[in-house]
Chain A
Amino acid sequence: MTEAAAQQQTEQPLERSSSSVGRLLDLLIQQRRSLAGAMFWIGVVVFFSFIFIGLAAPLIAPYNPQSIFLTPPSQPPTLQHLMGTDDLGRDIFSRVLWGTRSSLEIVAIGSVLALIVGFPVGLFSGYVGGWIDRGLVLVMDSVYAFPGLLLAAIVALFLGKGVFNIGIAITVIYVPTYFRVTRNHTISVREETFVEAARALGANSMTILWSYIAYQVLISIPVVFSLSAADAILTAAGLSFLGLGLERPAPDWGLDLSDAQKFLSSGAWWSSVFPGVMIIIFTVGIAFLGEGLSDIANPLLRKERA
């Protein structure tokens, strides 16, 4: 009995998939009951539900988010209007669902552009070193030193409103984050002895940069991506709240929050609470995803928590 159990244990590793993605997936499933694993899977569920909501908004929203109902405005939640109506008599539930879509678009544009710019520049800067590196670090650090929302507001002010422009404004804030992480990690990997060994066997710079350094550095990107995406939702909402984001009457969480706050004192809590809750759930969900992923994928952290 014990022998069979022991044998089973030794054979287990052989059954695991051999590709690295497969191994990570096995690990994530294995760890689903640990704190980090639970965080990751909750994050996954939240993230994909929001993507679903964003994509399916036209199908699942009961009303047009911009149509005004002729019943008295600011109705509390009823069966007809699940989240009530706002001060203009629009259905908040529909607006919240449609708002997911614009948030997703902004975050996707912002985070992906920041990644596309920040990662290669960081890789280059760290690999080349010298005065080019110092110059780039100086530029990136001065951008980083600005408060994020303020910088985004300035950029948005210049570019104007609209989903794409807000995406660009958010890109500007997060490029230094990607740059820093990539550049620092590149410098530490660059000094690894296997990089020197590859050089000794005649690997060219592009091979070294790509298959010896970039692959290693890529590990730290998903975490930065999810954390900055979570932050980007807040920034996007903040910009809209300040009136620099989307144009009224587009459905947008930040914009709706900003319109609703005047009516909080008159007891119309539903028009601020629901967009606010959406922002919180989405932000926390993405942050969970990133934290959980980094805790599980990083063997050092995994041991620490165990």
Chain B
Amino acid sequence: MTGPLLRVQDLYVHYSTRRGYVRALEGITLDVYPSETLGIVGETGCGKSTLGKAILGILPPRTRVSGQILLAGVELTKLRREEYRMIRGKDIALIFQDPMTRLNPLMTIEDHFIEEIQSHENVSKNMARERAREALVSMGIHESRIKNYPHEFSGGMRQRIMIAMALVLKPSLLIADEPTTSLDVIVESQILEVFHDLKRGYKMSLLLITHNMGTVAEVCDRVAVLYAGRLVEIGSVKQVFHKPLHPYTQGLLASIIHLETKELHSIEGSPPDLISPPEGCHFHPRCQFAQPICVEKDPPLEEFEPGHFAACHFGDKFL
């Protein structure tokens, strides 16, 4: 298997609102290879979660979507509703950032699993229950708790339950949308450990959406940086962390807090309004290197070194 497992090509997502269309994603193109972990980073509101939902086809109704999403060569956007539904959970699974509210409060954990397994595979209740038990135990939750309700678990446990649910059908792609944001540091490191194991054990591709550069450095193979709905930089973690080519990536990396940090660095300004984004490069109003050309021309994504792409007119200056 040399080809990409997931190929997103020229993906545009525009949310319809009263004030007009919010350009949440504008022409995203990226590949995820088998058993690779790709990190997606960016500020709040840059389109990270939208990307995850677009791949699963669970965007709200009346959202304009164009472009191609191919999973193992199958064009997802052209699938019929029922076929798309069968892919969700079975081939692609999504873990959300807020485990506290993602489980149905009126269903036991067992019911969640049985319903999920039976909606994809024609198996008996007992078989489904058995697999649910296995999946829970593999996430370190005791099987005696399978008949408990969601409110009887802590946040970290619920996230592990969500992960167990995402993994029980052995999907080839797991999308984790800020899986550790709402959890404390110790639980976070446990969850990240789980992802490490997944990569080794299941040979699963992981799309890790996060705003935590530390998590990316720890878990990911490659990283893609989103800004205002556009892909501004993509490359291996090593390349991007050592030679960030886009000023936005440089800003993100500079704002990581180290033990020696005396003064917190931050990027001036705030992300643009995506209903009427700025002309040219979306980042120019906040960029300290901005030149007249940045206002006039939208920089294309260019390859500056093998496998390392960036969308900046002056990318070669930062090499």
Binding site for B on A (CB under 8 A): 18, 20, 129-130, 192-194, 196-204, 207, 211-212, 215-216
How far, in angstroms, from A192 to B101 measured CA to CA in the complex? 8
Q: What 0/1 pattern do residues 219 to 235 of B give for CB contact below 8 A with A?
A: 00000000000000000
Contacts of B119 in A (CB 8 A): 202-204, 207
B26 at the A interface (CB under 8 A)? no
Whole-angstrom CA separation of A194 from B166 in the bound complex: 14
Whether A211 pairs with B107 at a CB distance below 8 angstroms is yes
Count of residues in B whose CB is under 8 Å from the partner chain: 31
Is the CB–CB distance between B102 and A211 below 8 Å?
A: no
Q: List 25 A-B contacts (CB under 8 A).
A: A18-B147, A130-B61, A192-B101, A193-B96, A193-B98, A193-B101, A193-B102, A194-B103, A194-B105, A196-B96, A197-B162, A198-B104, A199-B88, A200-B56, A200-B58, A200-B96, A201-B94, A201-B116, A202-B88, A202-B119, A203-B89, A203-B115, A203-B119, A207-B115, A212-B104
A201 and B165 contacting across the interface, CB-CB below 8 Å: yes
**Residue B106 CB within 8 A of the other chain:** yes
Given the complex, which residues of A lie within 8 Å of B82, measured CB to CB? Answer: 204
B293 within 8 A of A: no
The reply to whether the CB of B173 lies closer than 8 angstroms to some CB of chain A is no
Closest B residue, CB atoms, query A130: B61
Check if B147 sits within 8 Å of A201, measured CB to CB: no
B55-101 at interface with A (beta carbon < 8 Å) = 56, 58, 61, 82, 85-90, 93-94, 96, 98, 101
Complex contact B104–A200 (CB within 8 A)? no
B115 touches A200 (CB 8 A): no
Asked if A202 and B96 sit within 8 Å, CB to CB, the answer is no
The verdict on B125 contacting chain A, using a C-beta distance below 8 Å, is no
User: How far apart sit A74 and B247, CA to CA, in the bound complex (Å)?
Assistant: 99
Minimum C-beta distance from A18 to chain B (A): 7
Pairs A-B, 6 closest by C-beta atoms: A202-B89, A202-B88, A201-B89, A197-B102, A200-B94, A193-B101
Q: Say which residue of A18, A197, A215 sits within 8 Å of B96 (CB atoms).
A: A197
Majority SS at the chain B contact face: mixed
Chief secondary structure at chain A's binding surface: helix
Which residues from A are CB-within-8-Å of B105? Answer: 194
CB of A54 to closest CB in B, whole Å: 34
Bound-state Cα–Cα, A215 to B108, Å: 13
A194: chain B residues within 8 A (beta carbon): 101-105
Residue of B nearest to A197 (CB): B102
Determine the chain A residues whose CB is within 8 A of the CB of B89 once the complex forms.
200-203
CA distance A193 to B60 in the complex (A): 12
Asked whether, in the complex, the Cβ of A215 is within 8 Å of the Cβ of B106, the reply is yes
Q: In the complex, what residue of chain B is closest to A129 when comparing beta carbons? A: B61
User: What is the CB-to-nearest-CB distance from B14 to chain A, in angstroms, rounded to a whole number?
Assistant: 19
Which B residue's beta carbon lies closest to that of A213?
B104
**Interface flag for B297 (CB, 8 Å):** no
Complex: how many Å from CA A193 to CA B101? 6
Q: Is B243 an interface residue when CB atoms closer than 8 A count as contact?
A: no
B142 within 8 A of A: no
- Evaluate contact between A196 and B116: CB separation under 8 angstroms: no
* A199 partner residues in chain B, CB cutoff 8 A: 58, 88
Looking at A200, A204, A215, the one whose CB has the most chain B CB atoms below 10 A away is A200
> In the docked arrangement, what's the CA distance between A194 and B102, Å?
4
Give the chain A neighbours of B58 by CB distance below 8 A.
196, 199-200
- Give Cα A1 to B2, complex, Å: 71
**Cα separation A101 to B88 with both chains bound (whole Å):** 54
Residues in B neighbouring A20, C-beta threshold 8 A: 106
Chain B residues closer than 8 Å to A18, beta-carbon distance? 147
Question: Smallest CB-CB separation from A212: which chain B residue?
Answer: B104
Of all chain A residues, the one with the shortest Cβ separation from B108 is: A18
Contacts of A193 in B (CB 8 A): 96, 98, 101-102
From the candidates A129, A192, A202, A212, name the one contacting B116 in the complex (CB within 8 A): A202
In the bound complex, CA of A129 to CA of B86 (Å)? 24
In the complex, whether B203 has a CB less than 8 A from a CB of chain A is no
Complex Cα distance A300/B105, Å?
16
In this assembly, does B120 line the interface, its C-beta being within 8 Å of a C-beta of chain A? yes
